[in-house]
């Protein structure tokens, strides 16, 4: 049901130009696909000199059904570069406590993956730069750098601005003729402050069938 959520990790890896990741800061986005329009909050859950915990809150309503899902990932840092994922967690109101994700849930099944961005910084993505543009999003008109990256059948256009701290993402458009899960638009709505993380890793338990079903797989 929520397979597309797994590939959203790439958002944070495009703006690793800053050494400061303030806990509780992030941004609210509107996530739109052929299947639904949803609310997506992305924020810093924890920050240490060698790791960064990022949490996602995904909210969608289909008729009378409300979908709420939190994911958190602990990322290893080395000299302000992402070098890997240490741990991942998931939580929803259907679960009694957060659950620990296995490695297969760290990224999507197809298209541009987390590994495409491991170890990158601002200079590493300059080959994908299109130019500087004024981009209109629900948050307003923002001057941002436009990048375009392709892998297989998937093409991602994204706009990055230093004004959108700590994430950097203003807008993202993903297109893929071979997979509907890779077709979506993400637009910034507003900046967030003082967001309290929903997932406490110390309370997480082993992933079970119910936790797996939140991804539409077993």
Does 218 fall in a domain?
no
Q: Kindly provide the residue ranges of all beta strands, DSSP E only, lying in the chain, ordered along the sequence.
A: 26-33, 37-48, 51-62, 65-78, 81-91, 99-100, 129-137, 140-151, 154-160, 169-176, 184-192, 205-206
Does 152 fall in a domain?
yes
Query: Cis peptide before 166, with omega less than 30 degrees from 0?
Result: yes
Predicted confidence (pLDDT) at residue 217 exceeds the cutoff of 50? no
**Residue 55 is part of which domain span?**
3-213
45-93 residue pLDDT tens: 998 878 888 888 989 887 677 889 998 988 877 665 666 678 889 999 9
Helices (H), 61-208: none
Decide: helix, strand or coil at residue 211: helix
Q: What is the pTM of this model?
A: 0.81
Does 169 fall in a domain?
yes
* Cα–Cα distance measured from residue 205 to residue 22, given in angstroms and rounded to the nearest whole number: 27
Does 13 fall in a domain?
yes
* CATH code: domain of residue 112: 2.50.20
pLDDT band for 9, please (50, 70, 90 cuts).
very low
113-154 residue pLDDT tens: 444 444 445 666 778 899 999 999 999 999 999 989 887 888
202-212 residue pLDDT tens: 999 999 998 88
Does 23 fall in a domain?
yes
* Cα–Cα distance measured from residue 86 to residue 119, given in angstroms and rounded to the nearest whole number: 14
Provide the number of structural domains found in the chain. Answer: 1
């Amino acid at each position: 049901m929520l397979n597309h959520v797994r590939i959203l990790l790439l958002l944070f890896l495009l703006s690793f130009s800053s050494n400061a990741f303030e806990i509780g800061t992030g941004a609210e986005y509107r996530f739109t696909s052929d299947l639904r329009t949803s609310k997506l909050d992305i924020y810093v859950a924890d920050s240490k000199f060698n790791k960064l915990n990022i949490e996602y809150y995904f909210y969608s309503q289909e008729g009378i059904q409300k979908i709420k899902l939190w994911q958190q990932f602990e990322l290893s840092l080395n000299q302000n570069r992402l070098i890997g994922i240490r741990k991942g967690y998931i939580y929803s109101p259907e679960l009694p406590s957060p659950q620990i994700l296995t490695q297969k849930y760290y990224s999507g099944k197809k298209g541009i993956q987390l590994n495409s961005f491991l170890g990158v910084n601002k200079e590493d993505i300059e080959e994908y730069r299109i130019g500087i543009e004024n981009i209109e999003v629900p948050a307003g008109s923002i001057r941002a750098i436009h990048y375009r990256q392709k892998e297989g059948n998937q093409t991602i256009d994204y706009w990055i601005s230093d004004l959108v701290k700590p994430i950097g993402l203003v807008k993202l458009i993903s297109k893929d003729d071979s997979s509907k899960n890779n077709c979506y638009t993400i637009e910034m709505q507003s900046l967030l402050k003082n967001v309290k993380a929903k997932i406490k890793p110390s309370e997480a338990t082993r992933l079970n069938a119910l936790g797996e079903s939140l991804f539409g797989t077993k």
